[in-house]
Amino acid sequence: MYFDTTHSGEYHCALMSNQAFPARINPRKWAEKGSSWTGELPLSQFTRLTGALQDSEGQVKASVEFGVDEERIRYMKCDLSASVKMTCQRCLTPVELTVETSCSLGIVWHEEAAENLPSHYDPMIVSEETAEILPVLEDELIISLPIVPVHEDCTVQTEFSDPDEPILDDRPASNPFDVLAQLKLKK
Ligand SMILES: [Zn+2]
């Protein structure tokens, strides 16, 4: 454990970065305590995301912060970045991309409260005491994937491509649109 003093000068416990992010948390409690978490999450645990990627190797750097703002709105803010491999839509070889995103979510009980949130928050509807946060972070990553991933310059040989071997991939062709479609259905 270490302590941070970012909220109102009081000491708050913050989870240490080498601790795994818990599967379920009580986000309102975390907000009231001003809890935060910084660390790395294996890409392999985000299977909806990796469905759109070449592989699931690597880590997502994540920083998640909970708090209560001056309007008494409980929020979760996140900063995420990951290096991912997708298929270049121009030359069909792997392209490594950096995905970076941040979120600012107001924690609400239901849809109606979501509509009353100030516009700088996106809603995070948590209708129970506890919630899984990782799928929320995964959604944020999925929507920040490029829709048409391409190399800046396809003629530059990347370390991943081997010109002597044809690109074989026996997985069904994955397409970020499919993932987005699934995401829409879920909401
Ligand atoms: Zn390319």
Q: Looking at the domain assignment, is residue 158 inside a domain?
A: no
In this predicted model, what pLDDT tens digit does every residue of 62-118 receive, in sequence order? 999 999 999 999 999 999 999 999 999 999 999 999 999 999 999 999 999 999 999
Q: Looking at the domain assignment, is residue 58 inside a domain?
A: yes
Q: How far is the CA of 111 from the centre of ligand 1 (A)?
A: 42
Q: How far is the CA of 97 from the centre of ligand 1 (A)?
A: 12
Determine the pLDDT at residue 153. 93
Percent of the chain with pLDDT over 90: 71
Q: How far is the CA of 124 from the centre of ligand 1 (A)?
A: 36
Determine the pLDDT at residue 187. 45
Determine the pLDDT at residue 15. 54
pLDDT category of residue 171 using cuts at 50, 70 and 90: low
Determine the pLDDT at residue 8. 42
- 25: tokens are 């948390």
Residue type, 172: P
Q: How far is the CA of 96 from the centre of ligand 1 (A)?
A: 10
Domain count, the chain: 1
Q: Looking at the domain assignment, is residue 29 inside a domain?
A: yes
Terminal Cα-to-Cα distance of the chain (whole angstroms): 35
Q: Centre a 10 Å sphere on the Cβ of residue 103 and count the other Cβ atoms it contains.
A: 21
Q: Looking at the domain assignment, is residue 90 inside a domain?
A: yes
Length of the chain: 187
Q: Which of 172, 102, 111, 175 is nearest to 141 (CA)?
A: 102
Q: What's the rounded mean pLDDT across residues 32-57?
A: 96
pLDDT category of residue 155 using cuts at 50, 70 and 90: confident
CA 53/CA 50 separation, integer angstroms: 5
Query: What domain range is 48 assigned to?
Result: 2-152+170-186
Percent of the chain with pLDDT over 70: 74
Q: Looking at the domain assignment, is residue 160 inside a domain?
A: no
Q: Looking at the domain assignment, is residue 159 inside a domain?
A: no
Assess contact for 124 and 111: CB atoms under 8 A: no
Q: Looking at the domain assignment, is residue 142 inside a domain?
A: yes
Q: Looking at the domain assignment, is residue 43 inside a domain?
A: yes
- 182: tokens are 């699934």
Q: How far is the CA of 46 from the centre of ligand 1 (A)?
A: 25
